[in-house]
Amino acid sequence: MGKIAFVFSGQGDQYPGMGKELAEKYPYAASVYEMCDSVRPGTSAQCFYGTEEELKETKNTQPCLFAVELAAASVLMEKGIKPHAAAGFSLGEVVAATVAGVFDNETGFRLVCRRGELMQREAEKFDTSMAAVVRLTREQLEELCGKYSNIYPVNFNCPGQITVSGLSAEMPDFFADVKAAGGRAIPLKVKGAFHSPFMNKAAGDFAQELEKVHIERPTVTLYSNMTAGQYADNAAELLSKQICNPVQWEGIIRGMIASGIDTFIEIGPGKTLTNMIKKIDTEVKAQTVTEYLAEVE
C-alpha cells in the first residue's frame, strides 16, 4: 500500500444510530464519546438514539458528526493506521485539523459545538437551503447562478457535481433552469445556505472563537477547503473563512493524488466522499472506514 489519506465527511451523511456499533466494539471509540459527553452532555445519546429531524439541526449535526468521526479515527490510529495527509469536508475539516494536531481533542470538539451554533443562528435568519446539481459543468452552473441574486455555487465536489446554497424562495425557478439545461438538482438534508455570503457573520464570530484557543502547526499534511492547498501557520484564517467560502473538494483530492496519495479512507457515517473520489480518479483506492476496518481485522 502507498500513501493513505484520512478524509472526514460533512453534514448530510448523518443518520439515527450512527457510531453506536463502533462505541460498543472499540474502547478507544467509547472514550471519545465520553469526552464529548463531558463537554456537551447527551452527545452520544443524540448520535445513537436521536431522531432524523433532531440530527438535521446544525447545532446537533456538527458535534454529533465530530464525535463519530473522531471516534473512528481514534480506532484506526490505535491500530497503527496513520494518515500521510488529511482533509475534511466543511465541518469535517475541524475533525481533520484535530487529528492533525492543530487542536487537542477537547478543544476541537468545543470549537465544532460553537461552529454549529453560529451557523444555525445565521441559518435561522433566512429561509435558505442547499442542493446538489449534477450533469452540468462548472461554467454552466456559474452562469445559471448568475441569474439569481441569492443562489451561489458553493461546493465543487467532483466532475459533474456541484452544490449550491441560496434562498429557498428562488430554488424552484433555479431547479427548473437546471432541468432545462440538462441537469438535475437534488435537495440536501441541511438547514441553511452554508459556504455562502449568508454565513459571513458566522465566519467572523468563529474567527473570534479561534483567537481564544491554542493552535499548533499540523503534524500531518492538512488540506484546506477554501484554497485546496496545504495548511501552514494559517489554521485560524482557513477554518473561519471556509464557513462563508466554497469548498474546493475536487481540487483537494487532485492535489493529494499529485502528492502521491493513492488510498483514501472516508471517516464518517456514510460514503459520500468515497463516491466523489471515485468520480475524480478511478485509479486510486477509496473506501469507507467500515470497509477498511473489515479488511484489516
What are the residue numbers of the active site?
A: 90, 195
Q: In whole angstroms, give the CA distance from residue 259 to residue 32.
A: 31
Grid look-up 433566512 returns 126
CB 155 within 8 A of CB 114: no
- Give the CA-trace dihedral at 72, 249, 99, 290, to 10 degrees: 10
Instruction: Please list the residues that pair with 156 across neighbouring strands.
Output: 162
- b/e sequence 63-96, b meaning 16+ C-beta within 10 Å: bbbbbbbbbbbbbbeeeebebbbbbbbbbbbbbb
Q: In whole angstroms, give the CA distance from residue 56 to residue 208.
A: 26
Q: In whole angstroms, give the CA distance from residue 4 to residue 285.
A: 9
Q: How far is CA 233 from the centre of its chain?
A: 21
- Give the CA-trace dihedral at 222, 225, 231, 235, to 10 degrees: -110
Total H helices, total E strands in the chain: 14, 9
DSSP 185: E
Distances (CA, A) of 116 to 12, 67, 90: 14, 13, 11
Grid look-up 491500530 returns 79
Which residues, 6 or more positions from 88, have their beta carbon under 8 angstroms from its beta carbon?
Answer: 7, 8, 9, 10, 69, 94, 95, 96, 97, 225
